[in-house]
Amino acid sequence: MNSTLAILAVLDGISYAALVFLVSVGLSLIFGVLRVVNVAHGSLYAFGAYLAATFSIKVAPLSPWLTYPALLAASIVIGVVCGGFIERVLLRPLYGRDDVLQLLITFAAFMIMDNLQRLIWGVQPIFAAEPLKLLPNVTVFGVNYTSYQVILLPAVAVATLFGLRYFLRRTLAGAVIMAVTEDREASTSIGIDARRVYFVTFIIGASLAALGGALASPTTSLVPGMGADMIVLSFAVAATAGLGQIEGAALTALMIGLTRAFVIYLQPEFEVLVPYLLMVLVLLVRPYGLFGATQMRKI
Amino acid sequence: MSEKDLMTRRIKPITTAAVIFFLVSAVAPLFVASWATLFALILAKGIVVLGIVLLLQAGQVSFGHAMFFAIGAYTSAFWGKYVGGGDILLYLVLGGISSTVFGLIVGLFVVRYREIFFGMLNLAFSMVLWSLLEKMFPYTNGADGIRVARPGLLGFVFTPETFQYVILYVSLLIAAAAFYGVQRYLESPLGHMLRAIKSNETRLEYLGMSARRVLLIGYVISAFLGGIGGTLVAIIQQIATPEFGFWTKSGEFVFIAILGGGAHAFGAFAGAAMFECVRFYAAAHLADSWQLILGVVLIVIILYAPNGLIGLRQRYRQSGKGGR
Amino acid sequence: MADVLLSARDIKIRFGGVIAADGINLDVHEGENLAIIGPNGAGKTTFLNISTGYLRPQAGTVTFLGQDITAHLPRTITKLGIARAFQIPQLFLDQTVMENMLIAAASRQGYPSGFKALARLPEASEMERLLELVGVRSYAERTARELPEGQRKLVDIALALALKPRLLLMDEPTSGVASSEKLEIMDILTTALAKEKVTSVFVEHDMDMVERYAHRVAVWNVGKIQKIGTPAEVLADPKVQQQVIGI
């Protein structure tokens, strides 16, 4: 492997890690607060991507720059509408019931969304690369790459990481979420409305998944099945990091992204294997994940 | 009322339902030919779901059980591809052996964990298997899968028309045997210890038992059932694809278990019957939205009948954490 | 003096800043009922946890019948003949009381391989007698979850007895039982222990119980055995009265 390929692999890895981080941090956040593994998370990612593509195809003729707010708008719409629906209508009646039912109802949501996605957007691949083409290419150590992927995506991921940290540690709403995460009963007894916290957290988490999808949409063709692939991948990242670990998810996403990128150049057939193999190995040694404390510390 | 009367009153309706179900699967396809394959699939999947129900007794949900299903299916596929000259009986024996061996290996790792961690690790193992099946193209044909040529039975060869009935009755025999065996197991001391894991592992250890070992025994049986079911489905559908081991398949099995009612062994078949029938008819009439319909059915069941189709007649009187 | 069954030597354990055991030496003699008393949080339950392998002491050894069991798992120690009843009853809540008992009976043989139904085990009548003995026979077919706390406690003890132990460790055996029934239950229990030749150690807060049913009393205070002797000796000690009993 020559140095150009190595740099290419690093850049691939970083841009990929940025997307995976956005999705898995949402999953992790939801698990940390609600203790629910949201199986429909990948569908939120796919919906975010498809809606973003629809929006940007609509607005691009007016001005190509409008595609950026379109991406953001799509993720918020999906996060609030779909995320809000899943939490309020499906999950809420199940709090305090068997965990398996909560998991399974999000599986039902996944099945429905997967089907709806095919009904709404069809099965033909969709391309909406406008935002990607808009930004110039950059040269990194002699390698030409789109600045959308090596600058914008990582920047959004880093901003999300620090934004979430700030939100959770420095604002009142964040403090309330943290309190519920630490001790649900105690926080309810001091007057925190846990249901509202769940609702808001789920919407934030769902919006992050949709944002991941929206930002991914210009870089890839949208196909059925993208959601099903993303949920296990983001789950692998979240679980390897330790469910509920935000900074851990960032590092793990980077680790998996880079390993995967190098494997693609060296031994392409093992590409899909990498994250799951890492997950198995890590979970066998540290069931609470790389960054999870033995007594699981959430968030 | 004496203890015996209580027992009979509790057991009877479900056992009767099971017997009726097995009789219907034997007779109905004689009148409607297209039902032969449908019922064979229901029975084969029911066998896999029996394994899920078994683990549910211990309060554990495997979100990766499709791996054993795929192992069973690919065992036949590989035999047909590399050795050739398959026989239903041989496939079943091989599928049973390979899934049991894998169940033991994976089981040794996963029984150390509980609940979400148990589910996660199972998922991780199954996804490793799926990636290998999907990417080891030279050996597995990748996503296209491997065709499984129609095998004979004990040296007899069949026409496709006869074959669908042969495999139906083979599936029926195995399903009935598996149903009976699982029932007996759950009523045996070991089965009761398996259920004890759900409510109090500490006490189990303080009775001198290793909860891990008790769970491992259940896990291996459950893997075996998964492998047998996978072998049957590969023979029925004459193909094995990586999809057999994908996480959505695992989710489907858990779905069927909850749909039928995880508290009783018959729930596996009740759930499989409902699932496959909805899929069969929805796919025929609303080809584009069968998955959507199944999703809605699942939501309705979870929200309004969380104990599943046979939940009202709970033999195993387990009430599910907080589900009372 | 009777043989020493269980022997703890120089046991030390601390949790963070709290010292639960600071060089504990304690012998349990064959055939006796030894009560452990002491202020709340003194480490009495810790002693039961260490003796059954649930916790490992930071220093010291526990021997049972001369064998070092300090590093053993609870299930290994159970197999050697030490059974435990808990302060908070540990039952299989989804199963009936009788099923609970039969699981205990079946576990005596290790991993039962047969497909014989639990309900048809030959030990059923023996288990019924045990339930009769602790006075919960009438609950046999009820799901453990349905039982009131006091009855759960009794089933918990019956489960331990079902193992036919040499030594039974109990954590406040009559807490949660209506006070009117305490004496009756302890009478039955101690008679049964004597009859079955089971040695017992019980942690107790009720000095009345200690006085009536213990052969010896150990006072556990600030990680030490402050005093050990017959109930009459120990309970008469002014220091014990002041610091532990709080008169």
DSSP string covering C81-116: TEEEE-SS----TTSBHHHHHHHHHHHTTSS-----
Average pLDDT over chain A, rounded to whole?
Answer: 85
Would you say residue B49 lies in a domain? yes
Would you say residue B76 lies in a domain? yes
Note the pLDDT tens digit of each residue in B157-212. Answer: 878 888 888 999 999 999 999 999 999 999 999 999 999 999 999 999 999 999 99
pLDDT band for B229, please (50, 70, 90 cuts). very high
What's the average model confidence in pLDDT over A241-257? Answer: 86
**d(C-alpha C57, C-alpha C51), whole Å:** 10
pLDDT band for A1, please (50, 70, 90 cuts). low
**d(C-alpha A157, C-alpha C242), whole Å:** 65
**β-bridge partners, C224:** C221
Out of A100, A119, A269, closest to residue B61 by CB: A100
Whether B213 and C141 lie within 8 Å, measured CB to CB: no
Q: In what order do the strands lie in the sheet with C167-171?
A: C82-85, C167-171, C199-203, C33-37, C216-221, C224-229
Note the pLDDT tens digit of each residue in B216-228. Answer: 999 999 999 999 9
Searching chain B, which residue's CA lies closest to the CA of residue C81?
Answer: B208
Helix axes B3-31 and B265-285, enclosed angle (nearest 10): 30
The total of other beta-carbon atoms located within 10 Å of residue A63's CB is 8
Searching chain B, which residue's CA lies closest to the CA of residue A95?
Answer: B322
**d(C-alpha A149, C-alpha A137), whole Å:** 9
Would you say residue B28 lies in a domain? no
Note the pLDDT tens digit of each residue in A169-224. Answer: 888 888 888 888 777 777 777 777 778 888 999 999 999 999 999 998 888 888 88
Do chains A and B have 3 or more beta-carbon pairs under 8 angstroms? yes
Whether the per-residue pLDDT at A299 is higher than 70: the answer is no
pLDDT band for C87, please (50, 70, 90 cuts). confident
Out of A108, A269, A280, closest to residue B299 by CB: A108
Whether C112 and B188 lie within 8 Å, measured CB to CB: yes
Would you say residue C118 lies in a domain? no
Do chains A and C have 3 or more beta-carbon pairs under 8 angstroms? no
C-chain residues within 8 Å CB-CB of B264? none
* Lowest-pLDDT range of A65-74, B26-35, B54-63, B249-258: B26-35
Would you say residue C124 lies in a domain? no
C-chain residues within 8 Å CB-CB of B213? 111
CATH assignment of the domain containing C214? 3.40.50.300
Whether A97 and B289 lie within 8 Å, measured CB to CB: no
Helix axes B290-304 and B247-260, enclosed angle (nearest 10): 50
Searching chain B, which residue's CA lies closest to the CA of residue A108?
Answer: B295
Searching chain B, which residue's CA lies closest to the CA of residue A113?
Answer: B292
Would you say residue C122 lies in a domain? no
Comparing CA positions, the residue from B291, B293, B295, B283 lying closest to residue B38 is B283
Provide the 8-state DSSP code for A294.
S
Average pLDDT over chain C, rounded to whole?
Answer: 86
Going along chain A from its start, the domains and CATH numbers come out as 3-285 (1.10.3470)
CA distances to C29, C53, C67 from C33, in Å: 9, 21, 21
Q: Is C236 exposed, middle or buried (0-12, 13-18, 19+ CB in 10 A)?
A: exposed
Better pLDDT: A206 or B319? A206
Searching chain B, which residue's CA lies closest to the CA of residue A288?
Answer: B117
Whether the per-residue pLDDT at C82 is higher than 90: the answer is yes
Provide the 8-state DSSP code for C169.
E
* Lowest-pLDDT range of B9-13, B113-117, C100-104, C112-116: B9-13
Report how far apart the first and last C-alpha atoms of chain C are (Å, whole number): 33
Q: Is B313 exposed, middle or buried (0-12, 13-18, 19+ CB in 10 A)?
A: middle
- How many angstroms away from the CA of C52 is the closest CA of chain B? 9
Whether the per-residue pLDDT at A294 is higher than 60: the answer is no
Expressed as residue numbers, the domain containing C70 is 4-90+146-245
Note the pLDDT tens digit of each residue in B80-122. Answer: 888 877 888 999 999 999 999 999 999 998 998 888 888 888 9
Would you say residue B130 lies in a domain? yes
Expressed as residue numbers, the domain containing B207 is 35-247
pLDDT band for B311, please (50, 70, 90 cuts). low
Q: How many structural domains is chain B composed of?
A: 1
Whether A97 and B323 lie within 8 Å, measured CB to CB: yes
Whether C94 and B319 lie within 8 Å, measured CB to CB: yes
Note the pLDDT tens digit of each residue in C115-150. Answer: 788 888 888 898 998 898 888 889 989 999 988 888
Note the pLDDT tens digit of each residue in A108-139. Answer: 999 999 999 989 988 888 888 777 777 777 78
Q: How many structural domains is chain C composed of?
A: 1
| Widest distance between CA atoms in chain B | 66
Comparing CA positions, the residue from A164, A199, A207 lying closest to residue A36 is A199
pLDDT band for A59, please (50, 70, 90 cuts). confident
B-chain residues within 8 Å CB-CB of A290? none
As given in the structure block, the two tokens for residue A143 are 């390698």
Whether the per-residue pLDDT at B312 is higher than 60: the answer is no
Whether the per-residue pLDDT at B27 is higher than 60: the answer is yes
pLDDT band for C113, please (50, 70, 90 cuts). low
Would you say residue C98 lies in a domain? no
Out of B198, B207, B213, closest to residue C103 by CB: B207
**β-bridge partners, C83:** C168
A67: helix, strand or coil? helix
